[in-house]
Amino acid sequence: MSSAHDQAHHDPHHQSFISKYIFSTDHKVIGIQYLFMSLFFLFFGFCLMLLMRWQIAYPGHPLPIIGNLFGADSMPGGVMLPEFYNQLGAMHGTIMVFLGVVPLGFAVFGNYLIPLQIGAKDMAFPRLNMFSYWSFFVGGLLMLSSFFLPGGPG
C-alpha cells in the first residue's frame, strides 16, 4: 500500500538518471547526497590529522611513500614544514565543522527525515534545496583545492 507521501513524489518513469539522482530536487536523494559528501569530508579531515600526528611521532623525519606528493612548499624532501603543520590543523578544524559535522547533523537528517515526519511532500523550496547542496559541494571542493595554491591552504 503506498502512502500519500509516496504518491506525492514525482513519477520516477518520467525522470532521467541525471534529474533523478544528480540534480535531484527530491529531499531524500538530497539527504543521501549530503550523507556521502559529508562522510567524504570527514574522512579527508581525519587524514589531515593523521599527517599531523605523524609529524609529532617522528619530528623531522620524511613521511614515507606519500611525503613527496605535497611539494617543496609544504614538505620539502617529505619533511613537514611548521607552516604546513599549522595549515593542516586549521583545515582539519574548518573541514570537520563546516563540511563534516554540520552537514551530517542537519542537512542529512533534516532533509531525509523531517518532511517524512511532518508528512510534507518535500522541502518548501526543493530547487533552492538542490542549489544549496551543490553550493556545499562546489564550495567544499574549492576549499580542498586550496592545497594546490602557492602558499598552501588556510
Kindly give, in sequence order, each residue whose CB lies less than 8 Å from that of residue 4, ignoring residues fewer than 6 positions away: 119
Q: Which stretch binds ligand HEM (CB under 6 A): 7-15, 31-39, 46-54, 136-144?
A: 46-54
Residue 133 to residue 31: CA distance in whole angstroms: 9
For residue 51, the minimal CB distance to ligand HEM (Å) is 11
For residue 85, the minimal CB distance to ligand HEM (Å) is 8
Q: Does 143 bind ligand HEM (CB under 6 A)?
A: no
For residue 43, the minimal CB distance to ligand HEM (Å) is 8
Task: Tell me the per-residue interface mask from 72 to 101 with ligand HEM, x by CB under 6 A, - otherwise.
Answer: -----------------xx-xx--xx--xx
